[in-house]
Amino acid sequence: MAERLMVSQPKISHLENGNRAISPRDVRDLCEIYDVTDQQVIDALMQMARESGQQGWWHAYGDIPQSVYIALETDAASLHIYEPMVIPGLLQTPAYAHAVIEETIPRLTVEQAAARLKVRLRRQHRIYDPATPLRLWVVLDESVLRRVVGSPDIMREQLEHLIALSAEPHITVQILPYTVGANPGLSGQFSILRFVDTLDAVVYLERFTSDLYLEKHSDVRHYGVMYDHLQAQALDPADTLGFITDVTKAYVDGAGRP
């Protein structure tokens, strides 16, 4: 391939591993080599190549983790999240996000924590986009509400914020109560991202050091079925609102841990 394109082998390696942007000319030549003849496909690939040289907003914050996921989240049309531990980043208040970052990531410098907080809050612009807001479905385990992150006051503010966001037409929140017992979510957190003009989707599994991205149709279908079951077992949005309101009252009354 390097010989056909008249480039070095390291350049091909960098292109294949996503370490450098590809030029529209290289895309055109690759299409010819691989016998791609559909002009619409060629034009679409060349347009993506032109846009690939444009850095996303997150690059301004330096080398941050989850940059691949942020790029996917920025382009996604809809996002299904199951979270058994904490409020998802897109729905966090600044105080809650600050507490999560400081209390879950050991040996983080003040500068690193500040950068992560800025990136997390900047990501939330995606759900407030007036033109194309991200369609968001969230299923939360009951323990997310019960676990005191930061302080009771921070939890009260966070749950009030969650109630307010639940009223948005493009955001659906459901609680999976303890009474459900064993369920498909016991295997841990996952998210499913879907995109405009494509049937493809990506399953995202967040891990402490190396995140996982699953794109095989069988994997996506498996997690899709899991999410369907979680939604069916969870409280409906109206009952969820009442449930969160009751837990919030416990924090308001100064009970600390509901």
Q: What is the pLDDT along the chain (258 residues), one digit of tens a residue?
A: 888 888 778 778 877 877 667 778 888 899 999 999 998 888 888 877 776 656 678 777 777 778 889 988 988 999 999 999 999 999 999 999 999 999 998 889 999 999 999 999 999 999 988 888 999 999 999 999 999 999 999 999 999 999 999 999 999 999 999 999 999 999 999 999 998 866 679 999 998 777 899 989 999 999 999 999 999 999 999 999 999 999 999 998 765 444
Distance between alpha carbon 170 and the CA centroid of its chain, in Å?
A: 16
Identity of the residue numbered 86: V
Sheet strands (E) in 34-121: 76-83
Query: What's the Cα-to-Cα distance from 195 to each of 80, 246, 251, rounded to whole Å?
Result: 12, 36, 38
Contact (CB, 8 A) for 108 and 159: no
- HSE toward the beta carbon, residue 77, CA cutoff 13 A: 8
Q: Given this model, what pLDDT does residue 52 score?
A: 64
Q: Given this model, what pLDDT does residue 8 score?
A: 79
Contacts of residue 206, Cβ cutoff 8 Å, sequence gap at least 6: 66, 69, 189, 191
- Of 161, 163, 156, 178, the C-alpha closest to 248 is 156
The structure tokens listed for 93 are: 């208040």
Q: Given this model, what pLDDT does residue 199 score?
A: 67
Q: Given this model, what pLDDT does residue 149 score?
A: 96
- Of 105, 77, 84, the C-alpha closest to 200 is 77
Domains of the chain: 2-52 (no CATH), 65-252 (3.30.870)
Q: Given this model, what pLDDT does residue 258 score?
A: 47
